[in-house]
Structure 1
Amino acid sequence: MDTSRSRCEREPENRVRLFFVENLSGNVLQMLGTVYKIEPFFFSSSLNWIPSRYQEDVDAEHGDHITVVLPFLRTMPNPMTAPTTPASGGQFFAQMVAKIGSATIDTQAPLVLRSNDRILLLDLLSFHMVRRKGGSTIISYHPTPEWKSTSARYLHSRVRFAGESVYWQSLFKRSSDPTLVLLCVLWYPLYAWDESLENLYVHICWLESRVLVTNDIHLTRELHIIRASLLHYASLLESFRKTVVFLRNTPNPAMRDHLDSNTSIGSADLLERECDTLVSEIERLDMFRRMQEMRLENVINLAFASVNFEDSRDMQRLSEAALRDSAAMKRISYLTMVFLPASFVSTAFGMNIVDLQDGSYGTLSHYFEVALPLTAVTIWIIMALHTSRGEEGNTFLQRLRWPIRSAQQAFRLAIRKRKKANTGVV
């Protein structure tokens, strides 16, 4: 592109020219920067995606230069599910989407919305505007390929359609301030933000329904990724707002002294009104983002609460199973204690020592004479330990009287039945 020739061929009635440059080599960029006195930081900040906005080369008689580098959010169909071509970068996006499953959370990577087969990714607008009394120039620089950001051809079509609208045509007729053209272009990222957040809201609602139905703990990782992205989007929206405020607070010096006072005041009021409208829309988007963040936090709490509820029910089932096992073991222990005296006596009689074998031999009657009393004593002690345990003031000695108490209760019950029988009470 011959920039010097294009600069000389400006028509007298042409107030603003827009150049949409893409895929330029370093020599051509140097030539372009020399012709329009562009600082190298404009190209470096665009290549490195650094948000910036500044004014330079201010001349009260001729004008100034303003630079705007603005990252924003946009949505596109998921290239892993939609048919793609090599020019659209489908394979590259597939590789970037695969990186989302890594151990780190990268807010710069595309955010996959599985609910509607969309992808949220960062885009970039980079403008350098030369505001002059004889005619202004806007250079839109597109440093990245088409698959990663808005192409020069597509942005050119968006600006042309906006310029053909009745609303913007009336504004351009009422004011000759070229800043309105740049403000008109900034509505494109606003629409992209609106569409992206709407798709994200649909995806959050879908995740919320999944959490309610499946109680899948693995969904919490995706929820945390979306929450981290929403926090990053807050800084991008704030940068967008500061860009609009910068345009509102940076009037064109070429219009201040070379136009009549009524026209200058009218253009300034018109620019301020349009900037305020754009700022209010950005605040609406930020409020929508905050609402999604709060709803996402609620979904995350719901996911953890559901998982904790399932864990509590599992622990309850395990506790009940352990209680049943302990009851069975207790019964086995009681049964073992009943046979313990007999086992002890049989072991004692089976000892091959002189004291038990000298002069006499143990008989089966001797075994029962020792085993049965010990068994009875053991059962007595077991019943004493587990009888009347819940009554206050019962000591162990009092519990040993359980056979007497049982006999007394049986005796009282028999007397009571006899009295009822004598009086004829059924």
Structure 2
Amino acid sequence: MGILDEFYANNDTLRVPNPSHRHAAPSAPWPWVDLGDEFDRGLLDSELPPVPPLCDHTLCGGSCWKNYPESRFPNWTEHQVEKCDIQRIIKKRDPCRLHVVDVDKEGIFTIPLENGVMEVTQKNIEQSWKAFVANERPPDLRVRAVFIEDLSGPVLQMLGAKFNIEPFFWSSSLNWIPTRFQEDPQAGKGDHITICLTFLRATLPSDFPQNPTPSIISTKPSTLSRMMIDTQAPLPLSTGHLLVLDFLSVHMIRNSKGSTIISYHPSLALPTTKAHDLHQRIELAGRSVYWQKMFQISSDPTFVMLIFLWHAMYAWDEAMENLYTHICNLETRVIETNEMRTTNELHVIRAHQLHYHELLENFRKSVEFVMKYPNPTYDNASEQERKLTKDLLERECNQLLAGINRLEMSRKLQDKRLKNVMNLVFSSVNLDDSRRMQRMTEAAVRDSSGIDLTVSTASLTISSFVAAVFGMNVKEISEDTQGTLPHYIVAAAGMTIATVWIIMAYQCQHFLDADYGFLMRLLWPILFILKLFGNEKLGKAKNDKKVARGGSGDIEMQERPSFYPSRDRAASAP
């Protein structure tokens, strides 16, 4: 197990939860009730209306928010609220900070309150609820954006009860489930739209929260080849960055009397987008000349929602730039080293690339969703104003879609380059294997030539001997012949010696370092002895020369014996 594997194994918070898409939207008729779960008989036997009447929050004594979500959505029972993780947040009583930015009818972005921050603590819960109920806003306010930092139970329940927010928004946000849906559309009055989107961003190891376990900063990119392929976990790059998943969760209440945007920000051990960071970026967008002109032309608050999507676009583009640099580094390493283990890293990156394709598709669908569902409050507007707003919205959505298409093309190109690098690795390995096999084959052929002859000779020796014995014309076997057994032995020994002599003459080039003709190789015993003595004398001469050079330096190296075979002498011979 590598350092990164151990780091992930000991830190489950670094792994983004796998989304349960069946629980993503209100169109699912059984929220967070799986096939094996039991039904709540109390809900089925209840005589209360499925849709409770709206509460004015003045006579309920606060029960509407304290019992949320069941008070507004009775089909969300205690078991379902517990299963979807909302109950865990409801029990949380830590301080929660709300960062606020307002956009007036002139398109001017302003910061209300003190530094645009409202803090809800255990001590001021009742005062906070009264502030939510009063909902005091400037008369010329177009939209108010609220960014939630460290979501607590009271804030979740207060916002949910005040704006009648579908619990699917909270459950999808807490469980990182990509979704998009419209609810409660009312012509001329408004609607609710929700966009939950997982996107990619590049970050540095130093941006991770402090952790007592081994730091990811010490992790080398090579550890990637030993890590489990988990597309929900951070992807380390050779650039020193990590590609992590981030989450954009926005719920917008479009209303003719003033719209509200609620942005949830997860609290994980990951460098996700913080509430105060996105709050500042949205405020900075209000200084853009391009967007200011658009806000002055159209009063549709949906354009503010597009700025949130542009934040995801920026993050995607930065991440793909870092991934491109990492792939270039991998290509260089493969060309220089031809390491087979590099393919493991390539497989990991390709697995993440496939996951990125899914994320980009969700991004595309989110933009198309905004373009598909225009603001219902414009049903009462003039035809010219509706057309102008529609054209502007389509233009800006098409700009985002063009950026998504560019990101997808870049992803496909990088995937092809990864495949090309993998083919290069396999080709290099195959070439190396072919060279090794060629050398092994040559050695085997060289060594087997003598072995084959020996095996063939040995296999025929017994049969040849038996045939020779019974076919000998010697008087010990056939009395009417002149030959004797000693005569046969002398003839057989002579033929055997001659055969071995000739075979050795053919094979002697393997133990003699010179290239002799066949007639010279017939003298192989003499050449072999001369080679042995020649090597001894040559070694002695070299030693004498070293000693002489260490002394006066006037003694020249002795010449090699004239009988020592020399390639130079052979080359100079006619």
Task: Report how far residue 367 of structure 1 moved.
Answer: 6.7
Q: Which shows bigger deviation, 134-143 or 24-33?
A: 24-33
Q: Distance in 1 between matches of 2:237 and 2:230?
A: 15
Q: Partner of 1:291 in structure 2?
A: 413
Is the CA contact 1:84–1:90 (under 8 Å) kept in the aligned structure 2?
A: no
Is 1:241 the equivalent of 2:367? no
Letter matched to residue 38 of structure 1: I
Question: Which of 150, 156, 165 is 2:273 aligned to?
Answer: 150
User: CA, structure 1 residues 63+168, in 2 after alignment: closer, same or farther (shift >3 Å)?
Assistant: same
Alignment of 1:27-426 (within 5 A): 27-77=154-204, 79=205, 82=206, 86=210, 91=215, 104-114=228-238, 116-145=239-268, 147-257=270-380, 259-330=381-452, 365=486, 368-369=489-490, 371-372=492-493, 375=496
Q: Which amino acid in structure 1 is aligned with residue 392 of structure 2? A: L
CA distance in 1, matches of 2:225, 2:308: 36
Distance 1:295 1:178 in 2: 42
User: Structure 1: any 5+ residue segments left out of the alignment?
Assistant: 349-354, 357-362, 383-426
In structure 2, the CA distance between the partners of 1:92 and 1:141, relative to structure 1 (3 Å rule), is: farther
**CA displacement 1:219-270 (0-9 Å, x = unmatched):** 001001111111111111111011000000101111221x222222211111
Give the whole-Å Cα distance in 2 for the aligned partners of 1:93 and 1:369: 86
- Corresponding residue for residue 131 of structure 2: 5
Secondary structure at the aligned position of 1:222 is classed as helix
**Alpha-carbon deviation of 1:29?**
1.0
- Matched-pair contact (CA < 8 Å) for 2:191–2:254: yes
Q: Which moved more, 1:99-108 or 1:83-92?
A: 83-92
CA displacement, residues 91-150 of structure 1 (integer Å, 9 cap, x when unaligned) = 47879x999665641111111112x11110110000000000111000000123373411
Alpha-carbon distance in 2 for matches of 1:324, 1:301: 34
Say if 1:3 and 1:32, in contact at 8 Å, map to a contact too. no
Matched residue SS, 2:141: coil
Tell me by how many angstroms 1:11 deviates: 0.8
Alpha-carbon offset, residue 218 of structure 1 = 0.4
CA distance in 2, matches of 1:155, 1:62: 29
Residues 334 and 239 of structure 1: is their aligned pair in 2 closer, same or farther, counting only changes over 3 Å?
A: closer
Give CA-to-partner distance per residue, 1:379-415, whole Å, 9 cap, x none. 8xx9xxxxxxxxxxxxxxxxxxxxxxxxxxxxxxxxx
AA partner of residue 222 (structure 1): E
* Paired AA for residue 233 in structure 1: Y
Shift of 1:74: 0.2
Is 1:100–1:106's contact at 8 Å kept on the other side of the alignment? no
Deviation (angstroms), 1:294: 1.0
Q: Which has the higher contact order (CA 8 A, sep 6+)?
A: 1
Q: Is the 8 A contact 2:208 2:271 kept in 1?
A: no
In structure 2, do the counterparts of structure 1 residues 219 and 280 end up closer, same or farther at CA, with 3 Å as the change threshold?
same
In structure 2, do the counterparts of structure 1 residues 31 and 292 end up closer, same or farther at CA, with 3 Å as the change threshold? same
TM-aligned CA deviation for residue 329 of structure 1: 2.8
Over the matched positions of the two proteins, sequence identity in percent amounts to 50
Q: Is the 8 A contact 1:337 1:378 kept in 2?
A: no
Q: 1:333 deviation in Å?
A: 5.8
Structure 2 CA distance for partners of 1:87 and 1:327, relative to 1, 3 Å: closer
Q: Is the 8 A contact 1:23 1:145 kept in 2?
A: no
Q: Aligned-pair distance for 1:273?
A: 0.8
> Structure 2: how far apart are the matches of 1:183 and 1:219?
41
Match of 1:398? Answer: none
Give SS of 2:257's match.
coil
8 Å CA contact retained: 1:100, 1:109: no
**Aligned partner letter, 1:109:** A
SS at structure 2 position matched to 1:15: strand
Q: Distance in 2 between matches of 1:42 and 1:94?
A: 38
Moved more, 17-26 or 132-141: 17-26
CA spacing shift, 1:107–1:291, aligned 2, 3 Å: same
Structure 2 contact 148–264 (Cα < 8 Å) conserved? yes
Contact 2:143-2:258 at 8 Å conserved across structures: yes
- TM value normalised by structure 2: 0.57
Q: In structure 1, how many angstroms separate the alpha carbons of the residues matched to 2:393 and 2:403?
A: 15
Displacement of 1:26 in angstroms is 2.6
Separation (CA, whole Å) in 2 of partners of 1:180 and 1:83: 31
CA contact (8 A) 2:338 2:425 kept: yes
CA distance in 2, matches of 1:372, 1:92: 80
What secondary structure is seen at the aligned counterpart in 2 of 1:49? Answer: coil
CA contact under 8 A between 1:177 and 1:252: conserved in structure 2? yes
> How much does 1:206 deviate?
0.9
Gap change, CA 1:292 and 1:174, over 3 Å in 2: same
1:159-199 Cα offsets, whole Å, 9 max, x none, are 11111111111111111000000001211110111111111
Aligned partners of 1:145 and 1:151 also within 8 Å: no
**One-letter amino acid of the structure 1 residue matched with residue 230 of structure 2:** D
| Structure 2 alignment gaps of length 5 or more | 1-119, 121-127, 470-475, 478-483, 504-574
- Residue type of the partner of 1:372? A
Aligned Cα RMSD in Å? 3.5
Whether the aligned pair in 1 keeps the contact of 2:254 and 2:301 (CA below 8 Å) is: yes
Amino acid at match of 1:86: Q
Deviations 1:321-341 (A, max 9, x none): 212221343466689899x79
Once residues 253 and 209 of structure 2 are traced to their aligned partners in structure 1, the CA distance between those partners, rounded to angstroms, is 37
